[in-house]
Structure 1
Amino acid sequence: MKSMLIKALFLPLLFISGVSVAKEHAELKPATIFIAGDSTAASYSNADHQGWGEPFKAYFDSKTVTVDNRARGGRSTRTFMAEGLWQALIDDVRAGDVVIIQFGHNDGSPVNDNRRARGTLPGIGDDFVDIVNQLTGKQERVFSFGHYIRQMVAEVQAKQAIPVLASLTVRNLWQGHRIERGSGQYGYWTYQLAWELGTPFIDLTNAAADELELLGKTAAAALYPKDHTHYHNEGADLHARLVVAALKGMRPTLADDLYSDKGKAVTAYDWTFVRLPVVPDARRRSVFMVGDSTVRNGWGDGRDGQWGWGDFVADWLGHPPVNFVNRAVGGLSSRTFITQGHWQRALNMMNPGDIVLIQFGHNDAGALNDDSRARGTIKGIGHEQQTIDNMLTGQRETVYSYGAYLRKMVGEARARGVIPVICSPVPRKVWLDDSKRIARAENSYPQWAAQVARQSQTPFIDLHALVAARYDELGPEAVDEMFGDARTHTSKAGAIDTAGIVARQLAPMLGLDVVEAVSVEAK
């Protein structure tokens, strides 16, 4: 009976989000893909300068879709609209078209001068300033970056077309072996706007930075012969390819017959639709979270009433000047989080002194090899390994133990000066026969996580025990309200409660005090 109970506690999670199958497999077939942006996207004939919008055209079949690049050098969101460039674009948009919008490089310029007068107010608020424009001599009300993006998105949607927001291209500015990941906070503001407005978000900044860091400082510099912002054809094509890869990961996605042979050959980044968070402010220390759907559920928007605890930790700490970046992905194990590239992408965003909370286990109990998920890990923390021909990917793969994957993440985090913290997996809502105590797993993932933490001298948060004790205290009736499904995924109330437990353990590491979280109703 006990072995059956332990198995039930860690049955694999069977979904990533509440998105319907019909919606997930729907296809977009625009007649035109428009691009609105600045010089980093604009088309040029200069040998030392090309925007990504020009090589982007080659990834599509001109017989099935038109790529219309309206990006113009030197423009911000404000001047792109003030000069009529946006109006000319929107006049040509038809229902079903796609409009990719990317600005930010020039929005940080002065709001008023006699040279460009193109800057916007920082952020995405409703603030504005009235000026007499030194360049035009006219009165003008200048709004925030977010205001202009909202107007663009609203006008695209009014045409029953699809807006897509993209973060900045990467500038060739390095600190040691790390390249700058965005100018200012424009990438984060674009991410926030994508969530607010319900649009797809392409994280071009981090995707391009990842590739450029692999090339290295010298090879990357060769792509930027003019200055640190503008690249030539090869650098433009690198960014264009990454935009295509991200478009393939939207839900719904572009129809396959829109792509040329070159476009069809691009490996899709299948996770665009999840809209994973980016670092809000590079000047601040960050706390990253990696894990499964109990940390960040589905699309991270509470679908079907289900939330992960990682979305609410900051609430318990009074939203201090620390970034909280929840990069957990539902449906993944410690193994597939690594093999599908999520760990490396998160790691590349981290800086020395950052903290990463690591919580896996629920999905590690899945099959080592099947044609559905192929995400299981070898039980325990040993050095066993098994080579398989992965039925899902078609590739040969060596599978390791649960502990081995945790050790890999811990070691690679430390190698970058990042502080890893191992968390045991949260318990499921499975009550013992007397209905007064939540069942605890034995000789399973919580204990294995603890063993890896002890052996590697890594900070450990025993969420399995702490959350189970909390549920014992509350009792079955109250705990029922903390779940969005039968026994695995918490509701908003449950996620907030678990986040409070995490915050109490995390606060001393950050030198912070725990405050009372905002109410469920206020969130």
Structure 2
Amino acid sequence: MTPTLTRRATAALLLALPLLQAQAQEFTATTDPARAQVTLPEPARPELPSLILIGDSTVRNGRDDGQGKGGEGQWGWGNPIAAYLDQTKINVVNRAVGGLSSRTYRTSGHWDRTKPFIKKGDWVVMQFGHNDASPVNDNSRARGVLRGTGPEKEDIDNQLTGKRETVYTYGAYLRGYIADIRAAGATPVVASPVIRKRWEADGVKVTRAGGNFAAWAAEVARQENVAFIDLNEWGALRYEALGKAEVEKLFPADAPQETVHTNWLGAAVNSQLVIAGLIQNKVLPDAVYLRRFAPDGSDDRPVVDARKVRVEAPRDPKLPSLVMIGDSTVRSGGQNGAWGWGERLAPFFDTQKVNIVNNAIGGRSSRTFFTEGRWASVLEQLKAGDTLLIQFGHNDGARIGDPAGKNRGSVPGIGPETVEDTLPDGSKQQVQSFGWYLARYIDDAKARGAKVVVLSPIPHKDRWQAGQPRDFETYAAWGEQVARAHGAQFIDLTLLVTEAYRSAGAEKVDALFADARTHTNEAGAVFNAARVVDGLKRLPGQPLQPFLKAATP
């Protein structure tokens, strides 16, 4: 459940992911004195198929450690991509080396060291180009290639190595890798260089690489009939959707002039694009993906049909009910090991005194829970004495009018403004604001005699550490304003969970998630359910205190 990228939700992008753990091989580089030694990973489990990455620093930066600066250091996309793939089924082996070109990755011996790890059934993604425009021959790095994809070549006396060398075109080097990969029985994949942070004069459009390395990479992929991932065009579209101010947050804060090397968030954005390209080209088996992305960053999985998900009824209609509505962070049903906090709330309550009724449904926003008729079904069961808990926000940021948003986005804010959206069947729908939908739920429930509590969304895995901007700031503010204006109560669940995560520490928090950043596992669901109970206990009048168990589970 990943909202389409918007200017309001940059940090809803992605996460601090676990670092790739692998065995290592050390060697001494011979073509660049600035690189004395590099450590590259080997397949952790040789019996598994491997996704092997080769390229430059935009794939693997330096020693792949962020220069000791954490998320604000420089990172290549080859590190965060590992968290989106099931490493019990596939090795992710990032053997890219910073500072190299399609030429020097081969001539410095790195390719010869990598080839022994490539076996039948593997996949190899290559991404070169950022360093290929350098001088062909100098005494610094001598890493440039001839421009184009043709058969041209040039013999040189390499000033750096002191050796005679034949230099080929960019396309010729890519074709050489493709041939070697196929000879090993593996599948080659070509990616264009990642987009640079360069804006047109209007400050709105991003400058594409144009008719050079990005176009040449696409041309070679087409000629060789291999999968192609357009990180140039897709990256530009993502940046344009964000806008200049938000894109700056994807690059190291201490290097404002940096246009190529991203921080952790930027690397995660690029890794999402690579995942989208692998999916679009049907490169890897579906079973290896832990997260799936479309090119715009949204989850490419279809949203489950709400008509096929039954509306849960109270166990004992004579008892008051605690009813929940929301998205998959409230109810995930164990899909891919994910559980929502609402599914682990019952043990905190005396169910002989109160029904616990979880009618949240995955993939929903405040808008779609209403427009699909789910709310009407839930409302029929509400009665005087019941309490309704509402938590939306994770899917409301989808762009209205963008098919990738799956018609889930609501209008930002709490006002009366509407925006027209076109549905898949061609019909038009007037989309209301996030606050409008919350107010409708509150007013409808109160008319049935129920009490209402609005909760802000649980935070993402990457948005709780000290010094970071708080997660879901706008949605929390809107939720509180609407609750107060319409006679409901409010719990800032985002902050309650954030504070608890900070107390628990990074190692424990990492162990609470079933995926890269959004959905908790069973332990995480229990952890967050306890935070919900903490919030309920703090409400004025403690309306649910009579139903809570004396001892915490």
TM (norm. structure 1) is: 0.48
Rg larger in 1 or in 2?
A: 2
